[in-house]
A and B are shown apart, each in its own frame.
Chain A
Amino acid sequence: MSVLVLAEHNGQQLNASVYQAIGAAQTWAASVDLLIVGKATEALAQQAASIAGVQRVLSVDAAHLEHLLAEDVANIVVGIASNYQVILAAHSSFSRNILPRVAALLDVAMIADVLQIKGDNTYTRSIYAGSVHAMVQSIDTIQVLTVHASNFTVAAQGGNAEIVPLAAPDATTKTRWLSEEHSHSDRPALSSAKVVISGGRSLGSAEKFEQLLSPLADKLGAALGATRAAVDAGYAPNELQVGQTGVVVAPNLYFAIGISGAIQHLYGMKDSKVVIAINQDPDAPIFQVADYGLVADLFEAVPEITDSIASK
């Protein structure tokens, strides 16, 4: 049998989660193909070919694929789907946009954000913002799924896959890409950072969010995150949102600063290795998931931590 992994990339580099998606694909005793769709994909294909356990890198390279539209990518995946029993990708806004479209075109269910692959078409996934785990079994002959990347082993380097160019179908006429805005930050990507410092509504303003958290993030080489409440209040841009509807993170160290701990937020960070919570309210639910909790005034405690840490 064969598994197809859809690769997410930024044009230059494969996302770190691609390696975990391949790790998930290796759960099946099957050959694994990696699909790369984009413009000028040669370097990406080379990078992918060296991942251990990848049989073939399928490269679809066309000018109109510089900015990927769900309509186009879904057509490409559906075009080769009959060669595979499993089609998967790491769970992200990229795969969540495309794979449900693929599943519907194949008339199969999609299993979103899989935590565990159990065999026999059975999977564990979370529902109700992670407060319940459900085990489901698919009846479909092609399994389409996204995987919770941090739960899976990172595929090793050292492969030597064959690179197979595939022709791109015509571009969709339904949708046109106009523009994109990415925050330019020297900080590591939130989804793969080793240290994440997140702030909640208690920070009080965008200025205080920046003043209090940035120096600490700079010293620790950390990514900044935020709760939905902080994003809605305008303290932080939307792409920093950690939680059920934002980014899911699993760093070595997670600082929850002025965060009460709504279940929707916990969903996004409870896989962190060590969680530190600083909050003025001793009854805040965040303390139930924190390894180390400090009941203190943020505006005193955080600068004290920052000052105590030697610059990296």
Chain B
Amino acid sequence: MDAVLLSVSDFVDLTNQTLEYAYPVVQVEGEVAEFKVIQNKWISFKLKDDGAVVNCFASVYQMRTPLENGMKVIVVAQPRLNNKGFFTLNIKAVKPVGEGSIKKGFELLKAKLEKEGLFAPERKRPLPRAPKYVGVIASTESAGYADFIKIINERWGGLKVEVAHTQVQGLPAPDQMIRAIRYFNGLDELPEVLIIIRGGGSAEDLSTFNDEPLVRAIAESRIPTLVGVGHEVDHTLADMVSDVRAATPTNAAQIVVPDRNEIIRSAKAQANSVGQLLTQAIDNYSRQTHDNLSAAFARIQEKLETTYERLHTLRAMAAQLNPENVLQRGYALIRGEQVIGAVLEVETYKTIITTEVKDVRAK
């Protein structure tokens, strides 16, 4: 059979059709080399391993995590032969793989967002103490979500919880969560808090929460955000950019609602404290009344004592004026006219003498 004669253009088109049919999308793992940003719009790099190298091409907007030479990544791409005869992988998505590359991607994006001030403490908004309506973004099939709901129900009641079920790992997860964030932010009645939760997982699973568009969507949320991803030791850019970080989904539930038992205890304690204040007030009034009565009694006592003292003085003075006392001291009282021959009566303390006046002289 003769080979088909094709023009160069037809050959390129036919090759691309064949590639599209055989490999509409491929995932290729390799190391990034010769990474370049062209006119701030395009990105090109080579993906290599020990045996081969392939050109990769993407727009800046398709890059959800910063790349650097040496990083190990998986690219999701469409293989193409371009008009200049170069075979390329047209990138749809890139994600770092392996602990070192994930960490590198995390650090690069963290530095970029930090420079923009997205983690600044002054951007953080407080959460209401006891919200009535919250939005939750989670996989409703996950253990983290089950823990969250269990703790919410144990701790609080009367809360309206609207849950957006999304994937929380894998390539589609960030976009799903971004749509859910936009959904809640577009509601007529906004939830008071938007909670994003996911239980523990590998560094690769949790790297979903280091996706740049997702992190930016959390930062732009009109609704204050609470993010609880992984375990205590796991840190993601999503929780760093949120208004409040929870260590785990359980911790997110503890943060978002108060503990009803604590509130009941506090209310009872307040009522008791009012009782104590009342008893204390009654004691104060009693003490004051007692003090007033004591003061009045002391004043009366003092007045009485002064009066008794005065009476005693007057009595002593009166006693001194009593003629009997003068007679007792040896004096005598004489009655009668002081003329010669008159009869006088002389009264002493113990006797009364009658006598006659013999002489009267001036002294």
Q: Do A and B come from one complex?
A: no
Residues of B within 8 A of A (CB): none
